[in-house]
Amino acid sequence: MNRIALAAALVAATSVASAQQGPKPEDEIQYRQSVMTVIGRAMGPMGAMAQGKAPYSAAVAQKNAALIDTLLTLPWNSFGPGTESAAPNKAAPAIWKEPARFKQSAEAAQKAVANLVAVSRSGDEGKFKAAFGEAGKACKSCHDDFRTKEDHR
C-alpha cells in the first residue's frame, strides 16, 4: 500500500471495516437518522417557498429537490434486523411487522420526490407548490405510520 492509499485507508477505516463485517446496528441507526436530518434541512427552503414565506427560486427548488431525491435512495437498507433498538431512535415497530407496507410507503415518498424534481426543472411556481405539497404529504404519511413521536430504545 503506498502512502496515498494508506492515507485514504485511514480516513475510511471505520467505514471499510463496516463494509466487510456488516455495519453495527447502532451505526445503521446513526446513518439513517443522518440521512433524514440532511433531508429535513433540504425541505426547509422549499417549505418556505411553498408557503410564500420566501420568494420562489427555481434554482433553490431544483437543488434541494435533487438532493432529497438522491438521499431518499439511501436509508432503506439500514432498517435491518437488530436496528430496532440498538440506540435511541424513532423507528416504529410497524417497520418490521409490516415490511411490505413500509416499502410501499417509502416508495410513494420517493415517487412524489421524483415528481418534485421533474416539476422543479420546469420552473413553474404553481406546479412546484402543488408537487411540494404532495411530497410533503407522502413524507408525513410514512412518518405517521412508521415513526414514533419520541425516541425509544
Residues that bind a copy of itself (CB under 8 A): 1-2, 4-5, 7-16, 18-20, 30-31, 33-35, 37-38, 40-41, 43-48, 50-51, 53-54, 67, 70-71, 74, 129-130, 132-137, 139-140, 143
At residue 125, what are phi and psi to the nearest 5 degrees? -65, -45
CB of 53 to a copy of itself, least distance (A): 7
DSSP E strands, 11-152: 89-91, 147-152
CB of 8 to a copy of itself, least distance (A): 2
Cα 8 to Cα 4: distance, rounded to the nearest angstrom: 6
CB of 83 to a copy of itself, least distance (A): 14
Look-up of cell digits 411556481: 125
31 vs 100, beta carbon nearer a copy of itself:
31
Asked if residue 150 lies in contact with residue 61, where contact means CB atoms within 8 angstroms, the answer is no
